[in-house]
Structure formats: C-alpha cells, structure tokens
C-alpha cells in the first residue's frame, strides 16, 4: 500500500497517498487552483504555469499540476503575488492569441475565455505579439487554427499517447514553435484518422470540425430538396446535458421533435442501420466460423479505426468486417430502398447524418462510398453543430413534446442503441449470433463483461450451438486507439487468440466521439454510456433480429443477410494508406 503523507493546503491539513500532485491534494482539501493546460484525463504537460502555488515554509513557486506533494508541505493556493502572476500569465497568453471570441466556435466554452474573465484580464497591457498563420482547411473533418493555439499540448498527448496516431507533432522552436503535422503540411497530408479527439480536448477552439451546418441549412431551406436525416445513438445520450436537463436521461423523443421542427422531410434513426449492421456482421461472423474463414473478425463501424487499420495495420484488412458502418449502410439505403419505396428521385435527396464523430465527415467523402449511384451520405453534423442548429432555430429543446421517428427506417432495438457505448456492438452481435447459432434467445441479454470504461475488455463465451456443438468464443473490446494498437499487436504476434474484436477509436466509444461537446471528460463519457444501457434495458425489443423495419427491408428489398444485393449495397473494401501522409497506396481487399 502507498504511504500516506500529511500536507497542509492553506492551513487545512489533508492526508493523501504519496505521489499525489499538489493539485489533487488541493482538490481533496476543496481548494481551487486555476489551471489551463491541465486536463484531468491527460497527464500534465505543465506548459501554462497558471497553477503555480507558493509555500509557507519555502521560498519557491511550483506548478501544482505536476509537482508531487511531500510530507509536511504547506501550500498557499492564493495570495496577492499568485493572483498577480496568474493575471500576468493570462495577459501574456492573450498577447499571443487571436482574441476573436464572438466568431470563435468555442465561444462560451473556452477555458481561456473563462479564466481571462474571472481574473479581469486586460488584454491591452502588453503589445500584441501574435504572428498570424493561415488556417489549415485541408482535412475533410478538422480545421486547425494556429492563431488560437496556446500550445497547451493537450492535443499532442491525445494524438500521440492516447490515440498513438502521431498526426500532430511540434515543429519549430521557441516563439516559432507550432503544433502541426510532420513537414508542416495540412492535416489531410498526415496520418490523421480524423477521430477528432484533439478537438474535444482543445481548450481554446484552435482545433474544430469542418462545418457542414451551413450546407444543411441551405438544403433544408431549398424546396426542391428532400432532406432525410439519421442520428447516431450517442446523440440522444448527450443532448440533455447541453440543454440543462437531467444528463442521465436519453432524449430520443425531443430529438425527433427538434429535427421535425428544423424542417427535415424524413426523420429516421441510425439505430435502424445499427441493427441492420448486426444482421450483416453477425452473419459474416457465423459464416467465417462455419467455413473456416479468416478470424478474428474485427468490427468496421468506426471510420477512425478503419483509417487507423489501413494506415498502421493494413494486413488486418482481411480480418476487418466487410460491412459498411451504420451511417454508410443507411446512406445507401436512403438513396435506393427509400427512394424506390417513396418514388423520389434520389438525385433530389439530401442525406444528412448527425454523428458524435468527426471521422464520419471523412468517411462520407471516401470515393468508394457511392453504391447508391450517388454520394451515399451528403453531410455530417457533429453533436456540437446540431446543438448550435437547435439554438440557432430558437428551439427550446427542454420543453419540446416528444415525437416518434418516421416509418420505414426509424424503428430500433436495444441492440442498436448500445452501439454508442464501448462494447455495445459486441454485445449486440452476441445477442443475435447466439439466437442464430442456438435457436433461442439468450437468458440474460446483459453481457456485463464487455461493458464499462476499461480500455481492453476480454471475455470467453460458451455457446451451445445446434449445428456444431458447444463452441467457445474469445472476444475482446478495445476503445481508444492505443488500446486498439495493443490488441492488434497481440493478434499479429499470435500472443492472443480471438474470434471477434470490437474496436472504437475514441475512448468510451461513440459517446466519447470527436464531435461531442468540447471538454467531454472520461467521466462524461462513462455517464452517457450508462444512459444508453438504461435505454436498452427499458426497450421492448432488445435484439437486432427483432427489428421490424430491418426485417421488412430484407423481405422487400435485400433478400437475406449477406445476399448478393446486400453485399453490393452494404459491404465495402479497404485500402493501404501511407504512414507518412495517409495517402492511398493500394487497394488491399476487393469488393465481392
């Protein structure tokens, strides 16, 4: 057990384990120390200096975020000297910051803005030293604005250590240091997988998503366009917290109502295609097991993971499910199945999806995603953009009457909704695979071993199949790309033997996606995941094969899972990408 040490924070004595930082000790004493570069989810970079504290028994200032407390230390968290230092530091930062608050995407959610306001900072004390650099608009998903960057270093830790993508790095030195890609190119010319975690953790709006909101408004207000919308499961678990409601509740009905109010012609649900994905992917898994196909099978719902796999583990393309992601399955069906049913010219359909994700903006632009004959999905709004749209339209979200999704592609089961949390795809797939293999439903549909925020979750399931006797299924769930990398290394070295692997690029799964509200912490993500499992529990149908709209779609249009038509419309192929700049090197799997 770690030794406990006694420390005094502003005269208040607390006991903390040896190795605790001064900041955490102060938290224990309920003392506030202002921070800027620090984020509780990330290891401290100690760059900004705002958290400096003084000591009663020592003439020194130290950073609270990165200095371990020691026995007998007497910390002073606030004094005239410290206030003056903190204020001057903020003034220094502002002298090198593009202070464009009213037009900034992160206005009112900006950590620098908050602090500057709290400390009554006058940004004209020091002359402006900002050297303007052009915006990086190259990427399909992410905009990089170096003029707002305060070099806190959070994005670097996220990109390099949590995601192990290494798209972002440091270039230049001293005042000319800039957070950029290798060779100082645009984000498009980097191994960036578009996960957008950097945007979530950026405190000042220097990294944000590429805006599709204006295009969507344009389509909505264009009478000649038929605008269809789908929403990812994670959205309903997030909206409540943003509109001052109970953050633990999902807000499906109000979400549909808001979408109708915004003027979408048809409001469907990505959960429908999540169920569809399970039918396709589950069938693929069973086929691979039955026919001795390539195992383990790895999920393909997450476009961040797919890019990561194509860049860093291209040999694993043969393991990756050929299924498109739910968003892309949905997009294809809207412009084929739905258009056919409703007799609408697909050329006039604008397909919009609302996603907790920035990588979806990249996914929709992948050149192969045109199986409907058109671009399958036209625009992706992140959760943040969607929230802004609701506010822009003056909709009072909290008081909306609940509505239902529209028919045909709106019904969903509990299996679809848990797609939004890490382990959800795995759990949904097991529920249906069990049914198909055994011929009856699982007794207990809750598969707790694959839930929760542990980075890598392994389980072995015993399934008494009707055709090949009892089989043992080794499954693993990884979220956060550093965990995915670990699992892939185990697979490649043969150290572990799995049958089925679920991977989500973002920590926490889609509820922690790169398009989720700024500053989403691990705690926020965990809570949203729990909300989705709660919704699942309360739904009358909890397995994908029970989804009436999915079954109808097979009957009327696709035939059966993994049919030729399903393969043509709902499955895809992969490429090998350059680790240097993400460029496509070659096609690595082919469409059947």
Q: What residues act catalytically?
A: 281, 284, 301, 321, 360, 363, 368, 510
Q: Of 88-96, 332-340, 369-377, 570-578, which segment contacts another protein by CB under 8 A?
A: 88-96
Q: Does 99 bind another protein (CB under 8 A)?
A: no
Q: Does 110 bind another protein (CB under 8 A)?
A: no
Q: Does 182 bind another protein (CB under 8 A)?
A: no
| Binds another protein (CB under 8 A): choice among 102, 174, 244, 292 | 174
Distance of CA 537 to the CA centre of its chain: 23
Nearest approach, Cβ of residue 27 and another protein (Å): 19
Q: Are 571 and 277 in contact (CB under 8 A)?
A: no
| Binds another protein (CB under 8 A): choice among 151, 417, 422, 547 | 151
HSE (side-chain half, CA atoms, 13 Å) at 367: 3
Q: Does 173 bind another protein (CB under 8 A)?
A: yes
Rg (CA), the chain: 25
Cβ atoms within 10 Å, residue 8: 19
Nearest approach, Cβ of residue 292 and another protein (Å): 45
Nearest approach, Cβ of residue 77 and another protein (Å): 15
Q: Are 53 and 64 in contact (CB under 8 A)?
A: yes
Beta-strand runs (E) in 365-507: 379-382, 456-464, 470-479, 500-504
Q: Of 173-181, 210-218, 345-353, 464-472, which segment contacts another protein by CB under 8 A?
A: 173-181
By beta-carbon proximity to another protein, the closer residue of 48 and 298 is 48
Distance between CA atoms of residues 527 and 248, nearest Å? 7
By beta-carbon proximity to another protein, the closer residue of 151 and 283 is 151
| Binds another protein (CB under 8 A): choice among 12, 61, 459, 589 | 61
Q: Of 133-141, 166-174, 236-244, 436-444, which segment contacts another protein by CB under 8 A?
A: 166-174
Nearest approach, Cβ of residue 175 and another protein (Å): 4
Q: Which two tokens stand for residue 421?
A: 């949390």
Measure CA of the first residue to CA of the last residue in the chain; give whole Å: 57
Q: Does 126 bind another protein (CB under 8 A)?
A: yes
Q: Does 96 bind another protein (CB under 8 A)?
A: yes
Nearest approach, Cβ of residue 206 and another protein (Å): 13
Closest listed residue to residue 189, CA positions, set 246, 138, 145, 241: 138
What is the torsion angle, in degrees rounded to the nearest 10, for the CA atoms of residue 357, residue 359, residue 360 and residue 365? 160
Closest listed residue to residue 233, CA positions, set 269, 209, 259, 264: 269
Q: Does 48 bind another protein (CB under 8 A)?
A: yes
By beta-carbon proximity to another protein, the closer residue of 26 and 150 is 150
Kind of pairing between the strands at 142-144 and 207-209: antiparallel
470-503 in b/e form (b: 16+ CB < 10 A) is eeebbbbbbbbbbbbbbbbebbeeeeeebbbbbb
Q: Does 67 bind another protein (CB under 8 A)?
A: yes
| Binds another protein (CB under 8 A): choice among 24, 28, 46, 265 | 46
Q: Of 48-56, 246-254, 327-335, 565-573, which segment contacts another protein by CB under 8 A?
A: 48-56
Nearest approach, Cβ of residue 270 and another protein (Å): 41
Q: Of 146-154, 289-297, 542-550, 582-590, which segment contacts another protein by CB under 8 A?
A: 146-154
Residue whose tokens read 């350059």: 578
Distance between CA atoms of residues 355 and 231, nearest Å? 6
Q: Are 506 and 492 in contact (CB under 8 A)?
A: no
By beta-carbon proximity to another protein, the closer residue of 125 and 347 is 125
Question: Helices 383-392 and 252-262: crossing angle, nearest 10°?
Answer: 60
Q: Of 89-97, 135-143, 332-340, 522-530, which segment contacts another protein by CB under 8 A?
A: 89-97
Given the rule CB under 8 A, which residues bind another protein?
A: 37, 44, 46-49, 52, 61, 63, 66-68, 81, 85, 88-89, 92-93, 95-96, 126-127, 129, 150-153, 170, 172-177
């Amino acid at each position: 057990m770690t030794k406990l040490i006694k420390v005094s924070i502003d005269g208040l004595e607390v006991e903390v384990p040896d190795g605790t930082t001064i900041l955490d000790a102060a938290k224990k004493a309920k003392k506030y120390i202002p921070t800027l570069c620090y984020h509780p989810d990330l290891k401290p970079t100690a760059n900004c200096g705002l958290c400096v504290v003084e000591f009663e028994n020592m003439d020194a200032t130290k950073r609270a975020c990165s200095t371990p407390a020691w026995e007998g230390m007497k910390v002073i968290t606030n004094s005239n000297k410290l206030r003056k230092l903190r204020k001057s530091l903020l003034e220094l930062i502002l002298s090198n910051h593009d202070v464009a608050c009213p037009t900034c995407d992160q206005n009112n959610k900006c950590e620098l803005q908050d602090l500057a306001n709290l400390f009554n900072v006058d940004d004209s004390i020091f002359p402006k030293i900002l050297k303007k650099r052009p915006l990086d608009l190259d990427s399909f998903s992410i905009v990089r604005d170096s003029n707002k960057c305060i070099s806190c270093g959070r994005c670097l830790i996220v990109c390099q250590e949590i995601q192990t993508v290494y798209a972002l790095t440091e270039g230049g030195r001293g005042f000319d240091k800039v957070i950029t890609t290798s060779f100082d190119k645009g984000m498009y010319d980097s191994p960036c997988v578009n996960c957008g975690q950097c945007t979530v953790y950026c405190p000042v709006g220097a990294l944000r998503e590429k805006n599709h909101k204006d295009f969507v408004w344009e389509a909505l207000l264009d009478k000649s366009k038929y605008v269809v919308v789908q929403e990812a499961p994670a959205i309903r678990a997030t909206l409540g917290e943003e509109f001052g409601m109970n953050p633990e509740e999902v807000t499906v009905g109000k979400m549909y109502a808001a979408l109708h109010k915004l003027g979408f012609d048809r409001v469907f649900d990505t959960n429908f295609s999540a169920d569809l994905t399970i039918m396709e992917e589950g069938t693929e898994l069973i086929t691979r097991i039955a026919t001795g196909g390539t195992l383990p099978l790895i999920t393909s719902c997450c476009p961040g993971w797919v890019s990561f796999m194509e860049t860093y583990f291209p040999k694993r393309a043969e393991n990756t499910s050929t299924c498109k992601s739910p968003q892309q399955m949905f997009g294809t069906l809207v412009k084929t199945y739905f258009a056919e049913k409703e007799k609408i010219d697909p050329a006039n359909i604008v397909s919009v999806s609302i996603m907790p994700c920035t990588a979806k903006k990249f996914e929709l632009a992948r050149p192969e995603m045109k199986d409907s004959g058109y671009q399958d999905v036209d625009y992706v709004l992140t959760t943040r953009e969607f929230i802004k749209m609701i506010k822009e339209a003056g909709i009072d979200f909290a008081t909306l009457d609940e509505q239902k999704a529209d028919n045909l592609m709106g019904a969903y089961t509990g299996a679809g909704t848990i797609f939004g949390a890490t382990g959800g795809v795995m759990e949904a797939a097991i529920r249906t695979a069990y049914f198909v293999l055994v011929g009856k439903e699982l007794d207990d549909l809750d598969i707790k071993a694959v839930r929760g925020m542990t980075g890598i979750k392994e389980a072995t399931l015993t399934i008494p199949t009707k055709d090949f006797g009892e089989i043992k299924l080794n499954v693993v769930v990884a979220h956060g790309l550093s965990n995915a990398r670990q699992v892939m290394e185990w697979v490649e070295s043969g150290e572990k033997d799995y049958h089925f692997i679920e991977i989500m690029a973002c920590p926490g799964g889609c509820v922690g996606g790169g398009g989720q509200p700024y500053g989403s912490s691990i705690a926020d993500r965990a809570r949203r995941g729990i909300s989705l499992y709660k919704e699942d529990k309360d739904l009358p149908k909890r397995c994908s094969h029970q989804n009436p709209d999915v079954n109808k779609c097979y009957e009327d249009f696709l035939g059966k899972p993994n049919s030729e038509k399903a393969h043509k419309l709902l499955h895809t192929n992969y490429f090998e990408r350059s680790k240097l700049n993400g460029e496509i090197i070659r096609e690595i799997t082919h469409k059947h």
